[in-house]
Structure 1
Amino acid sequence: MVKAIVNGFGCTGHLVTRVAFNYGKVSITIDDCFTDYNYKVYTFWCDSTHGKFNGTVQSEKGKLVISGKPTSIFQEQYPANIKWGAAGAEYVLESTGVLTTLEKTGPRMKCRAKRLIISVPSADSPMFMMGMNHKKYNSLKMVSNASCTTTCLAPLANVTVDGLMTTVHTVTAIQKTTDGLTGKLYSDG
């Protein structure tokens, strides 16, 4: 089982946790100091964009119980105060949107995590985007994700650069839509 920490339990943290629970082979620990347990339960269970979580969620004894599985939660604002080693995390997802540089995320790497993934662009770590440059990834310990704008526009720009284009056009006034006599070549339609 893969062990991961999700730091920041907003939209990205929710989605990663949902995928982890649906996949079933990932153990998640959550760090989120900004909201109380009831808010975490409700917003995870009922997402206004992605719908309801297909499982149960409740707060119990300082943990979130997701589909019957207790999930540890840290509520630390400063990464240096978190007992990262106790969580035994192999992977750390930084999804607060605040800690975006090596200096700010440094304490996470001291926990001996195999990888750190920053969910937003970082000024000093390699940036990857699926479908664009993901094949260049080569076992780096820390990576970041492209911005929302880049993720939206880069595939369109790539199509232009690669010269790939298909135009689907409606039938024009001088085209016949079925085979028939035209007085021209038989195959002219």
Structure 2
Amino acid sequence: MGSLLMSAAKIRIFINGFGRIGRSAARIMIEDSSFELVGINDLYSYEQMAYLLKYDSIYGTLDYDINIQEDKLFIDNQIVKLFCEPNPENMNIKSLNVDVVLQCSGMFLTTESNFPWIKNGASKVIISTPVTDDTPMYILGVNHKEYKQEAIISNSSCSANAIVPIFQILDKYFGIQHAMMSMYHSYTSYQNLLDAKHYSKDIRRTRSATQNIIPLMSSAAETTAYFFPHLMEKLYAKSIRVPVASTTLYDLSIMLEGSYTKEEVNKRLEAEIKSTYKNILDTTNTPNESSDYIKNPHSAVINLPFTAIVGGNLLRVSAWQDNEYGYAQRLVDMAKVVQIAT
């Protein structure tokens, strides 16, 4: 049976939105003695919250006693206060002494909409998706050392966390002129299991995620350009949803400024990952498949044999990511960054 070490020095976390990312973050924090999960808010029953935390079709069953007593979730002996409140204005969480709110609802995408969390008792908020205003976005390994102690930030997207660190290496050492990014992405809960009506503007979302390969437009180009302003209008991204429940394969086609070989590029990638991006990026020479990267904690694992260069400057780089668990790991890591900076 798992055991949870309790300490006054723990980072006290509140999760708003207990879906795939929120529950993955909770699983990661349960195993990390740096954290104490003190509260969860979502708009479904507490019994289902407990059940879905304990049992997961992709990540398996947690080795902890998990049960509900009224509005409290017990994880072994740890008590987590539960809420079912749509409006953060109505949530006074001062008694929980919250250090960081992980905003995992997919809603509240501006500083203004997240300010009630600060007003009602939290010290910091990290939004688990790109924002729609000028809220600063940070990515671990890219610009997290520039964090200016803002109360509300974004951890950007799963795709940006995978792509941007790779681009940072390539742009620094080889120069990126422009790029096209294809993401062979596992289906998400926003898609339909069967053909049915959908509220998206993209009519292809009406089709069954388990039966089809579905190409969708992606915001990854705009999100990536946030970190590389000189590449604005020079990036294109497409998300190709495939019938698997987890992991994404990134296929990045990049026009470099000079002429290089595959060996030069791979050597630089390996060196930089070992020296600067340890535990953030990784590389592999093993001929693995998507399921081999389930629960992989890295932002991306570059598949070195798939690196290719045509004409000396048209580069292809491929990388794997568990787009839920790997991203949730970065979200948890960012909570440490903002708390240490306090």
Give the TM-score category using the shorter length: 0.7 to 0.9
Equivalence for 1:88:
97
Please give the alpha-carbon distance, in whole angstroms, between the structure 2 residues aligned to 1:33 and 1:138.
30
Verify: 1:52 aligned to 2:37, yes or no.
Answer: no
Verify: 1:138 aligned to 2:148, yes or no.
Answer: yes
Please give the alpha-carbon distance, in whole angstroms, between the structure 1 residues aligned to 2:59 and 2:147.
29
Query: Which of 21, 28, 31 lines up with 1:12 in the alignment?
Result: 21
Query: Which of 251, 258, 266 lines up with 1:166 in the alignment?
Result: 266
SS of match in other structure, 2:67? strand
Please state how far the C-alpha of 1:10 moved relative to its aligned partner: 1.1
Give the direction of change, closer, same or farther, for the CA distance of 1:157–1:3 in structure 2 (3 Å limit).
closer
Equivalence for 2:40:
31
SS of match in other structure, 1:23? coil
Please state how far the C-alpha of 1:20 moved relative to its aligned partner: 2.5
Runs of 4+ in 1 over 6 A off after TM superposition: none
User: Is 1:8–1:30's contact at 8 Å kept on the other side of the alignment?
Assistant: no
| Number of residue pairs the alignment of both structures matches | 169
Equivalence for 2:115:
106
User: Is 1:9–1:30's contact at 8 Å kept on the other side of the alignment?
Assistant: no
Q: TM-score, normalised by structure 2?
A: 0.46
Please give the alpha-carbon distance, in whole angstroms, between the structure 1 residues aligned to 2:61 and 2:75.
13
Q: Which amino acid aligns with 1:84?
A: I
User: Is 2:92–2:121's contact at 8 Å kept on the other side of the alignment?
Assistant: no
Structure 1 unpaired stretches of 5+: 170-189
Equivalence for 1:68:
77
Please give the alpha-carbon distance, in whole angstroms, between the structure 1 residues aligned to 2:65 and 2:34.
18
| Cα deviations by residue, 1:7-48 (Å, 9 ceiling, x for unpaired) | 111122212222322223433233333221221112111222
User: Is 1:57–1:64's contact at 8 Å kept on the other side of the alignment?
Assistant: yes
Give the direction of change, closer, same or farther, for the CA distance of 1:58–1:48 in structure 2 (3 Å limit).
same
SS of match in other structure, 2:165? helix
Q: TM-score, normalised by structure 1?
A: 0.79
Please give the alpha-carbon distance, in whole angstroms, between the structure 2 residues aligned to 1:96 and 1:38.
19
Please state how far the C-alpha of 1:112 moved relative to its aligned partner: 4.1
Please give the alpha-carbon distance, in whole angstroms, between the structure 1 residues aligned to 2:60 and 2:147.
32
Query: Which of 105, 127, 132 lines up with 1:118 in the alignment?
Result: 127
Equivalence for 1:154:
164
Verify: 1:127 aligned to 2:227, yes or no.
Answer: no
